[in-house]
Every structure is written in structure tokens, then in C-alpha cells.
Copies of this chain bind each other. A is one copy, B any other.
Amino acid sequence: MHPSRPYTVAVLGATGAVGREMLKVLDEHRFPVGELVPLASERSVGEEVLLGNRPFRCKLAEPDAFEGVDIVLASAGGSVSRKLLPEAVKRGAVCIDNSSAFRMDVDVPLVVPEVNPEAVAVHKGIIANPNCSTIQMVVALKPLHDEAQIKRVVVSTYQSVSGAGKKGMDELSKQTVALLNFRPYDVEVHSARIAFNCVPHIGPFIEDDYTQEELKLVYETRKIFGEPEMRVNPTAVRVPVFAGHSESINIEFEKPITPGRARELLGEFPGVVVVDKPHEKQYPMAIDAAERDEVFVGRIRKDRSVDHGLSLWCVADNLRKGAATNAVQIAKLLDAWWHAAQA
């Protein structure tokens, strides 16, 4: 028995940067929410959040809060997800988790709706949302991979501070103001001063001196494509941008593919906007991607250093397509599937 419209939807971590974005996207996409259950840690219980213009007060995130919930959108960090989502599943909810807690579990589908929607069908209560930098990259790669088969990817990221939440954004503001006023500044959230600087360090260093953020680009991409050997070399860098991740992506293919053909394929692909008239200063930029749901791709050009190569520049709002939008899109896949099963 599948749940039926409208759904009781819990948002776990409702007061965080991604949680608030999830509420906005649920409303904008007119997702059939019957009852909303915003959940937060003790610190934020009672805080008000909005769905459209309807106010809701956050309840405590605890196992019994999931009674009667159909869908959980979770963005409260890995340890909270690990503790609470199995409780939600026990109580009959399907969880879409934005943390990295379950992403690599064999039993948990890792889904980007434009790329591997079919994976949703095999969930056991938890579906994982990939990392922001992975989501936008796989969307840009998918139609090209289908056409010419990817041999190897080299990606360098230019990641905004909103990837570190509201406190990451606040630190950039505060440091910028301090520096412009010749005052001292604090470094607490990012690994080093981020204002007017680039920091090649996001997340802990875990394997061969790669960061966790970098390895997500390797392992999550392989899992989403179902290509366990896909070759990806990543460098993840934090830059002083408030919102929107940019990525410089170089791709070697097995088969020939021209920039024109890539533009055509990407232009037809759902969720992608091609912005590629460089002579008219039209290329994707973080400031243009803010608050948008799509992945923007441009600077598509032939890489003459290999037989079949392309380079491109890919930008998306990391809080939207990189997190909230992708999660809501997964909820919409579930809705469509359940609705079809009942029809």
C-alpha cells in the first residue's frame, strides 16, 4: 500500500540553509503537501518556518515525530540522519536524505532524477541525495556519456560558501567587512580565510591526500552512472562566492563528439540550460545561477590535447539543484510512481 496525495511531509533540519530551501522548493513546485512537519534540534524547536505564506512551528526531531509521516526530506547532517531515519522508516516513511550518511550503502539508491530515475524503484525506505558538486556534474555529463562514452574526467571546482550553510556565508560577509575596514577577522567555519582567497580544502583529508569532498566526486559519480570503474580526477576548492558552485570539467571520450553536438545534446537534456555564446559574454556564472533549479553549461570547446575531448564550465545553485531541488525532484518521482500504482 503506497501513501496517497496529499502527503504528510516532514522536513528534518527545517531551519538550516538547505531545509529552508526545501520548503521554498516544495511550495514553488506545488508538491502535494497535506500536512507539513518541520523538525529541528532542541535549539530550534518552536522556531517558525514558512511553506508559501503558511507559518509552521518546528517540533523536536525525535523518533515519534515521524508517526504518520509519508515522506521525510532530511538535511540535518550525517549523524542525525543515521540516528533518526531508520526510526522514520520503521514508522512507514520514505526518507530522502541530503547527508552523506547512506550515500554509498549498497541498499540505498543515490538518485539524480535526470540521470538515474529508475534507481528510485529499488529503495528500502531511504533514498540518498548526492553531494552538490556531484549532482551538477553528472547532469552535465549524462547526455555526453550516452553519446560518446566517458573515458576520463578531470574536474576542478569553484565552490561557494553556502555549501557550509548559513554560518559559512556569514563568515565570508564578516571577513570581507573586516578586511575592507582593516580590522582583524576570525576563521572558524572554513579551513582558512575565505574572503579574497581560494582555499583548496573542503572537508577532511581521507585517502591519498584527497579530501572527502573530492572523493565524493569520484565515488558518487560512479554509483549514479553504474560505472564502478569510471575515471574521475577531482580538485575541490572553496572560493569567496556566496551561492552557486562552478566547475571546470575536462572530459575524454571513447568516441568522437563535437562541441556543436554536445551543445545540441545538452540543450535537449532536462534540467540543463546551455549558456554558450562567449563572444557575447554569455557563459554560466554563479551570480546568474542563484535561486535557479537548472544546471547551466557553457564554454563548451574541443580539447585538442586528446583524440576525443571536450572542456566545459558548469554552474548550479548548490542549495537548489545541488540539494533542495534534487530532493524535491526525488519526492516527485515517488509521487508519480505511487500515483501511477494507484491509478
Interface residue ranges, A against B (CB under 8 Å): 152-154, 156, 158, 172-173, 176-177, 180, 191-193, 196-201, 205, 208-211, 231-233, 235, 237, 239-242, 246, 248, 250, 259, 278-279, 281, 283-287, 298-306, 309, 311, 313
Contact = CB atoms under 8 A, between A and B. Distances in A.
Nearest to A287: B197
A233 B198 contact: no
B235 A248 contact: yes
Contacts of A205: 278-279
Top 7 closest pairs, chain A to chain B, by CB: A231-B305, A156-B248, A156-B156, A209-B301, A235-B248, A233-B305, A154-B154
Contacts of A286: 196-198
A240 B259 CA distance: 29
A316 B332 CA distance: 48
5 contacts: A180-B180, A197-B285, A197-B286, A198-B246, A233-B303
A171 to B, nearest CB: 13
A217 to B, nearest CB: 11
Contact of A196 (B287, B298, B302, B304): B287
Contacts of A199: 285
A38 to B, nearest CB: 30
A303 B208 CA distance: 9
A190 to B, nearest CB: 10
Contacts of A153: 305
Contact of A305 (B209, B232, B241, B278): B232
A88 to B, nearest CB: 36
Contact of A313 (B154, B191, B235): B235
Q: Which of the listed residues A176, A250, A305 has the most CB atoms from chain B within 10 Å of its own CB?
A: A305
A186 to B, nearest CB: 15
B158 A191 contact: no
Nearest to A193: B287
Contacts of A191: 281
Nearest to A187: B281
Given A152-B306, A299-B200, A158 B237 contact: yes
Contact of A285 (B180, B198, B302): B198
Given A197-B285, A208-B302, A285-B199, A158 B313 contact: no
A196 B242 contact: yes
Contacts of A301: 208-210
Nearest to A279: B205
A206 B79 CA distance: 51
A237 B278 CA distance: 13
